[in-house]
A and B are shown apart, each in its own frame.
Chain A
């Protein structure tokens, strides 16, 4: 009996000893659970490269652009979701449609704010004011897109994190579009100050350099970008302006401090054989877009040489013009659901065309518009000429990207539009129309210039809504469904309409997208 007990004791002691050796103490368990596979802290520059890429690929060039390009008739939706958007079925009002990009927009805003915090007083990179300025520009940019696309939206409580990474507010409240824009302007003003700082401490390892995928860390160009955006957003709010002439003058002032050439424009130019232009990525995955008849008609109207450059057949051969045997435009809102049946825009294959956050030609168009609105059309004329030339040169870059494409190019049938032809086009075809109605031609040329692979359809969509608010109908859209169902905005994303009661309440059944313009387009919210 005793022996048994002894053996038992021995066994138990051994077991307990071995157990305590591998231990279950908190420290031991912390060690076991240590996350070896991730980092919990990172310098701002590593965040910046992602914010720029996401803003380019997901936000500016992504779903906003894909859908709004059909609303503004740069393209025609011809399959599945885009077909249904074209035909104003469920997509324009459904919360699921923009949900992915809704999330991307707020993530970009969150990451921009994290960078700002890091570089602000008390942050890990306190004093890195140049990086902070860049982050402020990106915060302004993404905030403005949220406001433009959704109107009133979560903002002041949105995209904010605690030190442990959890959100500060689980259900951010909805701010008015007006308040968001006040915030946008504040971000830009701060950025303008920070980017000109003489005491900035961004050098060495914390300097952004190559992580700034847009400007390689050039603060002067970021400053020009910030001024360009000031011009864009001042013009954006013009329908709500109490002092329109004063604001036009501000636009002119801001433009004067912005880009002086296409080389300076805010352009994300990192696409190649495997990092794909978002329009090409969409089209090569889904084939859901076709060439827009109303777009072609606008080119035909002004005998625009871009007509011979901007379309391709289903066989990826350039369409030379109306006389081309394969010429077949999709009729806006009346097309059939067919892939690779109609012509397509040449831009769907522009595999390496950059995504442009704000172009040089946009700055010029803003200047021309402000001058026209100030009744200084004589001064506007040379600006418009520069703008058209810049726009055509930009178009040719995207056409070249489609012809000479790493994953298979299109067959080019016509010659490129060079500067001389662009100038003569302006003198012969544009000038008479400009003379007849300067503002109208400025806006139409801007509309044509924004057609492409650079993600500028979103800004075009903003222009169209702004002009509607001003009672101007310069750009005539042909989709017959617009009579009752022109999408005036994007519906909120499902992630909030299902999770955030504040957003759920304002979303309702989503039909407001057809009836309520956004605040800056003189709507209620």
Chain B
């Protein structure tokens, strides 16, 4: 914490002037009373004058005394100020301020504020806590560590997307993710490419993948709109303020070098329970090319009429009897001996590799009298558990600051990141779609995935129309993302004292975030029995950020201080998109766009500008009452003419009631009540309705069946999406009320916040009645509200010299309700299939799963048919995605020199669609399907009724379902369930042991320290869906977390690392 507070103090106090005068010079040293370490950056002022300085990296200071000045006031954030007699060679020891709450945090625009002065809720995570589990992904490293923040990873694949929302969603189909601000400059964190329906193809990483958690000094999360209002429109979803290592923390004048290395191994975290008894086939009959495993018992294969080696049939007539063996056509295709003994293969287990992550980072930091710098190099190389997947990332950063004179200072920070992600496809044409359901009788790993002599002709257990065999796919299909990125900024700052109690800082910062990401989606020659296709596309994005701020501080009198901020921000982004598509390779062996026989290309270029003016006013009274008001006006280019300028206010008040003499006590050592109100909006993207080239492909097509131009004939159609010229920004009004309490001098801390957001006039693509001829209109419509309760509870039950134990609970209950959609619209599509889908529905929590339900009677009971089978009913809401609550638990135990930490995460409630679970039953691959099949009879599992006839009024009467389905009909039963999506809705509660880590300082001397650590992630999972991690789902958009269907699996990681500092 000290490091952080120091850093911030520096930022804030560089403005304290140095005044030269003829006088006596005093030098001295400031130390911490607690550990005797020098305090860097402490303010030393001559009492009763404007003369002051700050201590250097060794805690030393030099100051001139003028006239009859005798005393010095030495102060440092988080410590009690000391008023001491000035003596040359003096040593001042500062005592820690017992109130732990008195931390400094970075708020909007890098303004650091004492946490106690805030009228809204923020939460910070320091470097140590963030990196304890050595997660190379920022979103993964944050999980369970903050309240009010929901993090939904999509899988355990390297570079997998993750969706982060703070206090729920404000937009149905638009962006709900927070703004990332790194070292004072907003940077892009969202994905260029939306996974759209998210039921085919590979995932797309978020651009936050470029951030190396190792280089992060601290993260502060501005949760509510009042906290982020100064950032304007872009921050309506909250802000993640990241401060990277800058060198200010370097403790001595010589360079401090730290080196981190971690190696971990990934395994699949959980596998579905698959049956090992029944062979490929249907209705008990072996079928060597069927997709299902409803065949005979594996042991009986030799007796199969058509393929058994014990029977006379086409195959034995040709090859002779093969007692105890059976004929496998795919072995023949691959040029192997087609006759084998029936055997059970563990195809799923065999398929996955052990993945690995090897990450290294080195940081050199140095602090001088007039500046500091930090240089970091980082690399993370991952290999995924699915062959051919992985990620390689290199980060370089150089940051420095220099004091040019008493009043002028300058600094810069530059990051370069390059990454490459190798992915594979998921869901409908996904890799695991032909792994999990592979019949246990089929040797998926052993039989080559292609025909002998033709490596492009697929050979697997089932037909490959629309699917590819998994082993074939990893060798022939390629999905990559390659990115180069620079982001950084430089600033010039002028600080001056206007008088003894007034200070003015003017800062101009110019930043740039520029990147190009190259995507390739390649389906090799032979894909889906066709001749392949490839697309290459590039997003080149450049975002310039100009920021001018002037901040003014006036200590009106000892009890009252006033702060003001005025600023202007101009953000201009340019996005160029180039797309090339080739289809139908002329010949095999060269999967390259130059070998395609059909081509299509596209280009687009767009600009976006935001012009924001903002201001903030703060009043602080007696360290007790803090009032803050902000206003911001944004003019955005992406809205219709004369509808571009918007103003957003916020106001907040914090009252530290324990500052009142009457309320000071030993139980509640600190108590604050805070309340705030804010308005902030989101802009939409408006265009004149335009014509576009029509695209083809029904819901059944596996490729692009028709491509314009046909010959040389092109075509255009009015775009299916139209724009409302009366578009206005959506508005979020939010208020929050909360309290921060510290009991028994820090033994227990408790923070609670209730917030309410009302979002009106949402901008979204309102689905249109298909009969209009268009599919959607971008307009304002609908509202959503969120009630959020956030608790953080910190306990420090043991705090002795050798044993320290602390724990924290982060509880969030976020209820996000859709109040209204556009007139006539009851629900809107977010992703999924023709059915089931993820939707937003009126009156429901956001989002819901919509699809074919069970047929029910008027009383709402499920009605089975005469055979005891459930029936398909109407399409409606069949599941609610959002959980009742989430609870993260962090604990840290220091035993002598051992430090043990753990993070546990509990999600309670919410549902998801698990296509995998349902399909494995349908395919007869699951253990459940085998158990049902072997049973003498079973009842449909859910409470249901059967029809018993008509009563006197002609109304149907019902009785409890007692119609047993025979085991022999299990296949038909699961086929029926497969047509009813509601049967694949599962409770999505889980408890996960996310991280457990032990670290030990192997060697610690002056000048060299070596720390060793071991860690494991995602070690344990308790969930109600058998064999599937509820966090492996489809989509990088607002449907994330709701929909699972042969999704990429999650992983468990085990590793160790070293941290060397010298």
Q: Residues on A close to B: CB < 8 A?
A: 1, 4, 7-8, 11-12, 15, 18-19, 22, 24, 26, 29-30, 32-33, 35-42, 46-47, 49-50, 53-54, 57-58, 62-63, 66, 81, 84, 89-90, 94-97, 99-103, 106-107, 109-111, 114, 153-154, 158-161, 164-167, 169-172, 210-211, 213, 270, 273-276, 278, 281-282, 284-288, 336-341, 407, 493-496, 498-501, 503, 509-510
Contacts and interface: CB of A to CB of B under 8 A. Distances in A.
A154 B694 contact: no
A166 B689 contact: yes
Contacts of B835: 94, 96, 494
Among A166, A171, A270, A510, max chain B CB count under 10 A is at A166
Given A109-B773, A285-B702, A274 B707 contact: yes
A90 B720 contact: no
A62 B496 CA distance: 74
A284 B702 contact: yes
Given A4-B496, A15-B508, A166 B777 contact: yes
Contacts of B531: 407
Contact of A90 (B530, B825, B852): B852
Contacts of B482: none
Nearest to A11: B506
Given A19-B611, A47-B715, A210-B712, A110 B852 contact: no
Contacts of B696: 53-54, 57-58
A94 B875 contact: yes
A32 B609 contact: yes
Interface string B765-790: 00111111111010000000000000
Interface stretch (B283-291, B395-403, B732-740, B1022-1030): B283-291
Nearest to B980: A90
A493 B770 contact: yes
Contact of B282 (A1, A53, A164, A336): A336
Contacts of B705: 57, 275-276, 278, 281
A378 to B, nearest CB: 46
Contact of B772 (A8, A167, A211): A167
Interface string B737-776: 0000000000000000000000000000001111111110
Given A154-B771, A274-B598, A338-B290, A36 B498 contact: no
B688 A40 contact: yes
A290 B827 CA distance: 37
A268 to B, nearest CB: 10
Interface in B271-296: 282-283, 287, 289-291
B690 interface: yes
A107 B824 contact: no
Interface string B493-523: 0101010000010101000000000000000
Contacts of B568: 15, 19
Given A11-B506, A58-B698, A276-B705, A94 B713 contact: no
A500 B694 contact: no
- Interchain residue pairs A-B with the least CB separation, the first 6: A110-B773, A165-B689, A495-B770, A38-B690, A50-B715, A154-B771
A154 B773 CA distance: 11
Interface string B712-735: 111111111011110000000000
Contacts of A63: 698-700
A347 to B, nearest CB: 16
Count class of interface residues, chain B: 35 or more
Contact of A37 (B465, B606, B715, B769): B606
A7 B506 CA distance: 10
Given A8-B504, A46-B716, A285-B703, A273 B597 contact: yes
B700 A285 contact: yes
A273 B529 CA distance: 14
B772 A172 contact: yes
A286 B287 contact: no
Contacts of A509: 873-874
B410 to A, nearest CB: 14
B713 A213 contact: yes
B22 interface: no
Best-buried of A35, A102, A169, A510 by chain B (most CB within 10 Å) = A35
Nearest to A493: B770
Nearest to B634: A24
B36 interface: no
Given A33-B607, A107-B774, A285-B701, 19 more contacts: A24-B609, A33-B638, A35-B690, A37-B603, A47-B715, A50-B708, A58-B696, A90-B979, A100-B698, A109-B773, A110-B718, A110-B774, A167-B772, A274-B583, A274-B597, A281-B700, A407-B531, A498-B767, A500-B769
Interface of B: 282-283, 287, 289-291, 463, 465-466, 494, 496, 498, 504, 506, 508, 528-531, 546, 548, 550, 568, 570, 572, 583-584, 597-598, 603-609, 611, 635-639, 641-642, 644, 686-692, 694, 696, 698-703, 705-708, 710-720, 722-725, 767-775, 777, 823-827, 834-835, 852, 872-875, 975-976, 979-980
A111 B718 contact: yes
Contact of B724 (A30, A40, A166): A166
The winner among B607, B835, B976 for most chain A CB atoms within 10 A is B835
B774 A167 contact: yes
B716 A42 contact: yes
Contacts of B583: 274
Contact of A275 (B463, B707, B723): B707
A94 B531 CA distance: 35
A40 B584 contact: no
A339 B692 CA distance: 37
A40 B771 contact: no
B823 A498 contact: no
28 contacts: A19-B570, A22-B572, A24-B611, A26-B644, A36-B605, A53-B715, A63-B698, A90-B852, A90-B872, A90-B980, A94-B852, A110-B718, A110-B774, A159-B773, A166-B723, A166-B777, A167-B768, A211-B715, A281-B698, A284-B529, A285-B703, A286-B702, A336-B283, A494-B875, A495-B775, A498-B825, A499-B767, A503-B769
B986 to A, nearest CB: 21
Task: Identify which of B528, B702, B718 gathers the most chain A CB atoms within 10 Å of its CB.
Answer: B718
B922 to A, nearest CB: 10
A59 B788 CA distance: 48
Contact of A100 (B598, B699, B712): B699
B313 to A, nearest CB: 13
A171 B822 CA distance: 12
B700 A4 contact: no
Contact of B715 (A38, A46, A110): A46
A63 B769 CA distance: 19
A188 B770 CA distance: 24
Contacts of B700: 63, 66, 81, 281-282, 285-286, 288
A275 B701 CA distance: 12
Given A53-B694, A100-B834, A37 B605 contact: yes
Nearest to B772: A167
A154 to B, nearest CB: 4
Contact of A89 (B699, B707, B823, B872): B872
Nearest to A281: B705
A485 B386 CA distance: 47
Contact of B713 (A1, A22, A210, A282): A210
Nearest to A510: B874
A114 B769 contact: no
Contact of A337 (B504, B636, B975): B975
Nearest to A509: B874
B787 to A, nearest CB: 27
B287 A499 contact: no
Contact of B706 (A30, A41, A57): A57
A359 B832 CA distance: 38
Contacts of B465: 284-287, 339
Contacts of B714: 46, 49
A329 B289 CA distance: 18
A285 B466 contact: yes
B824 to A, nearest CB: 5
